[in-house]
A and B are shown apart, each in its own frame.
Chain A
Amino acid sequence: MIPADEFFEDDAGPPRQGDILLAGVARLVAEDRYTPQAWVSLDAADVTVDLPNLDDPLRLATGPALVMVTSHDCHFDKEWNRLRNSLIKRGLDGDAATRTADDNETLDRTFTASPLVIPNDLALDRGNLMAGRVVGYLPVPASPDGLVPEAVVDLTYRATLDRLDIVRVTCISWTARARLRYALARLDSLRATTVGFELEAVVGRHIEQVSFPKQQPLSVRLHLDDGHHIDLLQQPAELTDGPARRAPGG
């Protein structure tokens, strides 16, 4: 697990992937209101909603939680960029389009987040869990300010939140965010990676070229001097030539 001083960052700026928030979470439950042991601390209340014209009521388990933002940074600007671009295409200059889009408070309101849970609540080996070896969980060290206890982000629980209904507790570092992205990719998309190679076959060979296959965005291809190549899974990270940040109100 990354040490706390390398994991956390000062709280500032717009919402970003990996931010730890104080928010409410909710999930739909069945009639027996079963709650897995890991989520007992999240299900503080049962809510039953009887709607007209619906035979079966909606049942929710809900409660306050510390959550980690799982949506990517660009998700928080998606509708804003779309509106701004469409206004520019309709003839507005960039500044006017930006101001008009800024005035619209309905844009990019929702995002997803996963709750932090106590490691002991999970029926999993604590050592593997905190070492980040269990797919679906991201270990989080205790924060120096005491606001976040040692925990794991349970990525198998995803809640949709409103950005106007949250407060931020802390932000995380680039390194920690890279680990979050890798954990998300492993959970949702890469359960059975096929990237690998026979070590014996490449001992003594020279790497002549490195490429990033366009059709495999998460892999790095090493071209060997004997004409063969090996594929490695690259660590997900922020692109170096990232988006141009604007100053607040700019």
Chain B
Amino acid sequence: MTAAPVDLQQTSSSVASRRGRGRTVALRAGLLPGTVFGTNAGIPGVTRWADHLPLITTTPAIEPTQIPSIADEVRDLRDEVCAHGLTRRDVARAVGVDRRSLSGWVSGEIRPSADRVRVLRSLACLVADIAVERPGRVRDVLLARRGGRALIDRVADEGTRLLQTWRSSIRPEAKVSVRVRPQNSAEPIWAAAARALVDGWLTPPTWERSIRPDATYEMDLDEASAFEEDEPGVRRRSYR
């Protein structure tokens, strides 16, 4: 029995757990030390080497078809992120590629580098984290720009470190503060009316409407010439 290529650098517990029991066991066993990812073309030698490693495990054997391909994983991660309101263009931006490359990864036409996939996993983790605290606002948080770069543009550089820092780097929810100004001792101009309101003497106006002809609300801007100003006495100061 041979094992299919598996990314051992996968660290996202959420991703691992949703792959199913066979996948989780394989990761815990640590059977394939080293990456089998490479550039878009992959690393054929490593893959062949990995293909011939025996799967040392007491768990039920894993059929190659049960282990998702990189394309499947990329698609799952992308869809997971997009489910929180991000567009595919946003995902491509976070990973640092164009949208066509991202589509190529999903279709299997292009093989992403391990670094790119790691960024994608970091993005998924970050999105899941933000969604817990800011449900429905994930995209706003990621695209918010305060001083430096938007959070989405920092995923590639900072990866999962952002899980610890994203809260402090974004603007908090709308916040309102009120400060009452000190007033002089004189009674305000509205004080008597406010007392009358409390005593029930004041009421809102009624809602009686008036039927008016359309012409009431129409105008002809050609008549504006009657309001042309002439300011002969005004001398403008020049700026030097």
Which residues of chain B come closer than 8 Å to A101, judged between CB atoms? Answer: 209
Taking a contact as CB atoms under 8 Å apart, the answer to whether B209 and A14 are in contact is yes
Question: Known: A46-B181, A53-B144, A65-B189. Is A169-B210 also a contact (CB below 8 A)?
Answer: no
Within 8 Å by CB of B192, from A146, A191, A218, lies: A146
**For chain B residues 180-233, which have a beta carbon within 8 Å of chain A?**
180-181, 183, 188-190, 192-194, 196-197, 202-212, 214, 216-217, 223, 225-227, 229-231
Which residues of chain B come closer than 8 Å to A214, judged between CB atoms? Answer: 223
Which residues of chain A come closer than 8 Å to B227, judged between CB atoms? Answer: 189-190
Q: How far, in angstroms, from A218 to B210 measured CA to CA in the complex?
A: 24
Q: What is the number of residues of chain B that contact chain A, defined by CB distance less than 8 Å?
A: 46
Q: How far, in angstroms, from A74 to B211 measured CA to CA in the complex?
A: 9
**For chain A residues 198-250, which have a beta carbon within 8 Å of chain B?**
213-219, 243-248
Could you say which of A76-84, A124-132, A175-183 contacts chain B? A76-84
Taking a contact as CB atoms under 8 Å apart, the answer to whether A45 and B181 are in contact is yes
Q: How far, in angstroms, from A176 to B180 measured CA to CA in the complex?
A: 35
Q: Nearest residue in A to B201 (C-beta to C-beta)?
A: A147
Which residues of chain A come closer than 8 Å to B237, judged between CB atoms? Answer: none
Which residues of chain A come closer than 8 Å to B226, judged between CB atoms? Answer: 213, 215-219
Taking a contact as CB atoms under 8 Å apart, the answer to whether A194 and B230 are in contact is yes
Determine how close the nearest CB of chain B comes to the CB of A242; give it in whole angstroms. 8
Question: Known: A41-B183, A149-B189, A169-B196. Is A48-B176 also a contact (CB below 8 A)?
Answer: yes
Question: Known: A46-B179, A190-B227. Is A53-B193 also a contact (CB below 8 A)?
Answer: no
Which residues of chain A come closer than 8 Å to B211, judged between CB atoms? Answer: 77, 81, 84, 98, 243-244, 246
Q: How far, in angstroms, from A205 to B207 measured CA to CA in the complex?
A: 52
Could you say which of B51-59, B105-113, B166-174 contacts chain A? B166-174
Which residues of chain A come closer than 8 Å to B171, judged between CB atoms? Answer: 50, 52-54
Q: Nearest residue in B to A102 (C-beta to C-beta)?
A: B209
Question: Known: A44-B181, A116-B189, A191-B229. Is A14-B207 also a contact (CB below 8 A)?
Answer: yes
**For chain A residues 70-103, which have a beta carbon within 8 Å of chain B?**
73-74, 76-78, 80-82, 84-85, 98, 101-102
Taking a contact as CB atoms under 8 Å apart, the answer to whether A192 and B230 are in contact is yes
Question: Known: A45-B180, A47-B176. Is A52-B229 also a contact (CB below 8 A)?
Answer: no
| B140 part of interface (Cβ distance < 8 Å) | yes
Q: How far, in angstroms, from A54 to B146 measured CA to CA in the complex?
A: 8
Q: Nearest residue in A to B188 (C-beta to C-beta)?
A: A41
| B235 part of interface (Cβ distance < 8 Å) | no
Question: Known: A44-B180, A65-B190. Is A53-B140 also a contact (CB below 8 A)?
Answer: yes
**For chain A residues 1-50, which have a beta carbon within 8 Å of chain B?**
13-15, 19, 22, 41, 43-50
Residue interface mask A54-79, B partner, CB < 8 A = 1: 11000000001110000001101110
A residues sitting closer than 8 Å to B (CB atoms) are 13-15, 19, 22, 41, 43-55, 64-66, 73-74, 76-78, 80-82, 84-85, 98, 101-102, 116-118, 146-149, 151, 163-164, 166-169, 189-192, 194, 213-219, 243-248
Top 5 closest A-B pairs, CB basis? Answer: A216-B226, A15-B205, A167-B202, A50-B175, A243-B210
User: Beyond A73-B210, A167-B203: 7 further Cβ-contacts under 8 Å?
Assistant: A50-B176, A52-B172, A81-B217, A102-B207, A118-B189, A190-B227, A244-B210
B residues sitting closer than 8 Å to A (CB atoms) are 140, 144-146, 170-181, 183, 188-190, 192-194, 196-197, 202-212, 214, 216-217, 223, 225-227, 229-231
List 19 interface pairs A-B (beta carbons < 8 Å), by A numbering. A14-B207, A14-B208, A14-B210, A45-B179, A54-B171, A66-B189, A74-B210, A77-B210, A81-B209, A116-B189, A147-B196, A163-B204, A166-B204, A194-B230, A244-B210, A246-B208, A246-B209, A247-B208, A248-B207
